[in-house]
Amino acid sequence: MIEMTTRQADQITREFEGEADELIGHYPVSKRSASLPLLHHWQNHFGFVDDSGVEWIAAKLDLTPINILELVTFYPWFRREAAGKVIIRVCRTLACAMAGSYDVKEKFCEAVGLDPHAEHHGFGVAPPTTPDGKFSVEFVECLASCGSAPVALIGDELAENIKPADVAALVKTLK
């Protein structure tokens, strides 16, 4: 069997490109400003940003690929490889830590079957992900919900006042 190319840029649809053009239209003064919106658009669509994505966005905005790659490697949100379908981002910072977020993160890892002590530094690398590709769990810095600590951003939803004992049941609702 011939190995198929998996360049993300080869899978772009007309609709995807139309949405990208609309985003660029939000920046009448400089289309370079659309770099972050296009990276979000790309990652939301493909799950991560590969080399072809970096090149495609750069070409779209009349930039060189390094102008885009240096953003992917700077911002913790972007990654160069696939993460789980549901990403569980547990807040690590002070108010959440005081309310037990380290314990909560361990319980999330246990509930989805990940090593709670795996090292993860972000910056392009996907967070620890279950072999079935369903879940990733990571610590993130302050999610700005310190009054209802500890919190986690699960996909797009914020879970608040999480009790370690409730984590397993919470994960079941995601399966």
Partner 1 sequence: MPALLPTPHPKERRIIFENISKPGYAPDIETYLAHGGYESLKKAVTMKPAEIVDAVKAANLRGRGGAGFPCGTKWGFIKYDDGKDHYIVVNADESEPGTFKDRYILHQDPHQLIEGLAISAFATNTHLAYIYIRCEFPHAARIVWNAIKEARAKGFIGNNILGTGFDLDVYVHQGAGAYICGEETSLLESLEGKRPYPRIKPPYFPAVLGLYMKPTIVNNVETICHVKHIIRLGAAEYAKMGVPGDGGTRTMCVSGDVVRPGIYEIPCGAVTIRELIFDVCGGLKPGRTLKAIIPGGSSAKVMRADEIYKTKAKAPDGAMVDKDLPMLDVVLDASTLQSVGTMVGSAGVIVMDDSRDMVWALNNLNQFYAHESCGQCTPCREGSLWMSKVTTRMLDGGGRADDSENLKSIADNIAGRTICAFGEACSWPTQSFLAKFPEEFEKSEG
* Contact status: 35 vs partner 1 (CB under 8 A): yes
Single residue of 17, 18, 32, 168 touching partner 1 by CB under 8 A = 32
* Contact status: 78 vs partner 1 (CB under 8 A): yes
Q: How far apart are CA 27 and CA 46, in angstroms?
A: 24
Identify which of residues 1 and 32 has a Cβ nearer to partner 1 in the complex: 32
Report 114-133 residues binding partner 1 (CB under 8 A): none
Task: Pull the structure tokens for residue 115.
Answer: 């090593």
Q: Where do runs of H (alpha helix) occur along 25-173?
A: 35-46, 51-60, 65-72, 94-98, 101-112, 167-172
* Contact status: 112 vs partner 1 (CB under 8 A): no
Q: Which stretch binds partner 1 (CB under 8 A): 3-11, 110-118, 142-150, 165-173?
A: 142-150
Per-position DSSP letters for 112-137, written without gaps between them: HT--TT-----TBSPPPB-TTSSEEE
Helix (H, G, I), strand (E, B) or coil at 51: helix
Positions in the binding site for partner 1 (CB under 8 A): 26-30, 32-37, 39-40, 61, 67, 70-71, 74-78, 89, 92-95, 97-98, 140-149, 153, 156, 158, 160-161
